[in-house]
Structure 1
Amino acid sequence: MIFQESETVELKAIVVEDIKKEIIAFANCEGGKIYIGVQDDGTVSGLDNPDETSLQISNMVRDAIKPDLTMFLHYETVTADGKKIVAVDIQQGTERPYYIAKKGLRPEGVYVRQGYSSVPATNTAIRRMIKETDGDRFEEMRSLEQNLTFESAKKTFAERNVKFGPAQMKTLGLITQDGVYTNLGLLLSDQCVHTIKAAVFQGTKQSEFKDRKEFSGSLFQQMDEVYDFIDFHNQTHSTFDKLYRIDRRDYPETAVREALMNLLVHREYSFRASTFVSLYADRIEFTSIGGLVSGVTLKDVTMGISVCRNIKLANVFYRLELIEAYGTGLIKIMDAYEGTGMTPQIETSENAFKIILPNLNARPEPEKAIQVRTRKDTSEEKVIALTKERGFVTRKEVEILLGIRQSSCGRLLKKMIENGLLIQDGKGKNTRYCLPQ
């Protein structure tokens, strides 16, 4: 028998600590074999006790590699050149990526086969393996960050008299059965990487900031801090009906609460872009990343039909009584404005969902200004606002935003370019439109 190292064969004279890397690399790729008792040059040195060697490797795999890989390894004692050696056959695992438990789901803990060597995997490769084995549902995928704490979550659960321990975390989906944190766990942890940006503008346009802030940390912490930020700016105005004073806040608290819950629970977290809360003199806008779930229309949503993007996250908020039955949030928002003469607006695109709450105490524009304001001006303002939020827009996004046909959209974009409001970047399907620098 001739031994030679290759992409699927590794030779080891004895069991060394680095053998874990080789096993992980084979399990993360196409599988392979490790021959123990054979020198790097192919010379058979043999083993005095092959059974003990097999047991040593088996214990190492069980104790030091996650997830459980034992079922994908097969040990065989064979004779070569009259000497005993151990052949370890490693199959590709079904719960990739496999990693050294002490290192975690990071490049220094995850290895792949590259030529004749086992090398650290890149973050991109790790994400790809997670997606291939865990599926496309973001909240159920294993988190790349495993060093997580849950001080905000513990506080929120305690305030609502709901238990929050290892058993509950597994039941809710924050931890897998193997003890690995999921992306849902990341969202509710103090190390959550997603943020909400809030800003208060002077007047009705994004021309001058009055206040702005970015909120980070656990979604529970963001929820409380963003609500307090809005509540601080949600002023109370008084009017009189004969001798009786009537106090009315700019925005119904129920509407604000439900819009914020929608922003947190229904956004697309597979994108790292922040969500936005924008307060103007006449309205407040909640803009989240991720349009409507495929197959659901805006009319469906306003009728109370709900197809949840983040089922497990919504379940956590439901268990904590932060939200009620699915699909009732937007109905509650509309009900909060009933009888006020004002109606909240909802705008959607392929990649964004916006709820606009009108300010109940905002003064209406002078009648003359309303008469001279054209549809085209309003359309241009909407396109500019979306471009500011996203950095760029596409023709298709403008069509959806304004509800116009391709020809009308083309004329509008051409006119905005001629007037210096937009700059065209790229050609054909890759065309994007940006604001002038």
Structure 2
Amino acid sequence: MLRTYLRPHFVERVSARVFRNDIELSLGEGELRTLGAALPDGAFTNLGLLLSDQCTPTVKAALFADDDRNIFTAREECTGSVLKQLSDAYAFLEHDNRYRTEYSGLERIDYHDVPPVALREALVNSIAHREYSLSGPTLISAMPGGVEIVSPGGLPLGIEEADLGAHISIPRNKMLANVLFRLEIIETYGTGIGRMRASYADSEFDPSIRLTPNTLTVFLPNRNAIGMRAAEASDEKARALRDLLEGGPKTRHFIQGSLGISQTTAIRMLGDLTNKGVIEKQGAGKNTMYMLK
């Protein structure tokens, strides 16, 4: 445990307003000792430094115009208390977390690029469970294809990769996790990854976790960008099919081979364009031919 007699600067109360609630936690001398942020002799612990504005680990966030991360459009280094860093990092990402809107009857449904629940849980985990003895910042990259968060430190001792979906929790920084729990930033231990994955239940894509001995990387896919790319790819195939049929009627087998698509995709595409009146079919069975109307 680090002992220091430099007095970090504290506000009297800290809050979790980053997630729009009014939970506050007093940080008087007695409370600091109770939380484990200070010792009876007045020395501050590692937790005390993490909660103060003298916290040295930082979070670096960047917004990119491309998935190869060659073109920066914005960047920010989040400093100060880890609670302030969490607030600033979330605000940075929330600002560009766009959404598309659908309607179910009179109900408006907004589909954010990255589900806010997933964004919250990934950020909180990066603060709560990172290895603060390792130098280097937590790195956040927001790209068209999704958000990547890289935290220093692999899994805590006692947890293996296969355990990540088992709803168990062995926090690396127990006292910091307790502060986050009291602020209701962490609701219950061991459920963050489950909530993150559940927030993608309406998507064919899932968040991913990559591990090395010294890093833990969470990638949160952009649901809307993936959907738009899939639609663009589908439109491109449909245009290629129309171009192919300009030369005359073709069989499904010929269309499959020419476009390099599967039988399932060919059947779906031909059926869709037939129903829309773009093409028509003649014959039956293997001799069925498709042509432009």
Residue 275 of structure 1 pairs with residue 138 of structure 2: yes
Aligned pairs (5 A) from 1:309-324: 309-324=172-187
The yes-or-no answer on 1:155 pairing with 2:14 is: yes
Partner SS state of residue 162, structure 1: strand
CA contact (8 A) 2:180 2:186 kept: yes
Offset of 1:203 from its aligned partner?
2.0
Cα separation, 2, equivalents of 1:157 and 1:287 = 23
What is the rounded CA distance, in whole Å, between the counterparts of 1:208 and 1:202 in structure 2? 6
| TM-score, structure 1 as length reference | 0.49
By how many angstroms is 1:147 displaced?
2.8
* Residue in structure 2 matching 1:327, options 190, 212, 237: 190
Summarize deviations over 1:339-380 as a string: whole Å, max 9, x none.
222211010100000111111111236659xxxxxxxxxxxx
8 Å CA contact 2:211, 2:217 repeated in 1: yes
Q: Is the contact between residue 157 and residue 164 of structure 1 (CA under 8 Å) also seen in structure 2?
A: no
Report the Cα distance in structure 2 between the residues aligned to 1:156 and 1:263, rounded to whole angstroms: 19
Q: Distance in 2 between matches of 1:178 and 1:289?
A: 31
Give me the whole-angstrom Cα distance separating, in 2, the residues matched to 1:227 and 1:157: 12
Q: Within 5 Å, which residues of 2 pair with 1:23-422?
A: 140-143=1-4, 146-151=6-11, 154-156=13-15, 159-239=22-102, 246-362=109-225, 363-364=228-229
In structure 2, the CA distance between the partners of 1:241 and 1:157, relative to structure 1 (3 Å rule), is closer
Aligned residues: 227
Percentage of pairs with the same residue = 37
**Structure 2 length as normaliser, TM-score?**
0.72
State the Cα RMSD in Å: 2.1
Rg comparison, structure with higher value: 1
Q: 1:364 aligns to what SS in structure 2?
A: helix
The offset of 1:320, in angstroms, is: 1.3
Gaps of 5+ in 1: 1-139, 369-437
For residues 302-340 of structure 1, the C-alpha deviation after alignment (integer angstroms, 9 at most, x for no partner) is 222221110111011111111022111111101111122
Question: 3-state DSSP class of the match of 2:223?
Answer: coil
Aligned counterparts of 1:254 and 1:263: Cα–Cα separation in 2 = 14
CA distance in 1, matches of 2:60, 2:10: 22
CA distance in 1 between partners of 2:14 and 2:116 (Å): 23
Question: Within 2, Cα distance between the matches of 1:175 and 1:244?
Answer: 51
- Is the contact made by 1:276 and 1:287 (CA closer than 8 Å) also made in structure 2? yes
Q: Distance in 1 between matches of 2:182 and 2:100?
A: 36
Larger RCO, structures 1/2 (Cα 8 Å, 6+ apart): 2
Residues 109-153 of structure 1: per-residue CA shift (max 9 Å, x gap) = xxxxxxxxxxxxxxxxxxxxxxxxxxxxxxx4324x6131012x7
The gaps in structure 2 that reach 5 residues or longer are 235-293
- For the 8 Å contact 1:317–1:323, the answer to whether it is kept is yes
Q: CA deviation at 1:241?
A: 6.0
C-alpha distance after superposition, 1:253-274 (max 9, x if no partner): 1111111100100000001210
Aligned equivalents of 2:179, 2:109: Cα separation in 1: 38
4+ residue segments displaced more than 3 Å: 239-246, 365-368
The alpha carbon displacement at 1:245 in A equals 5.2
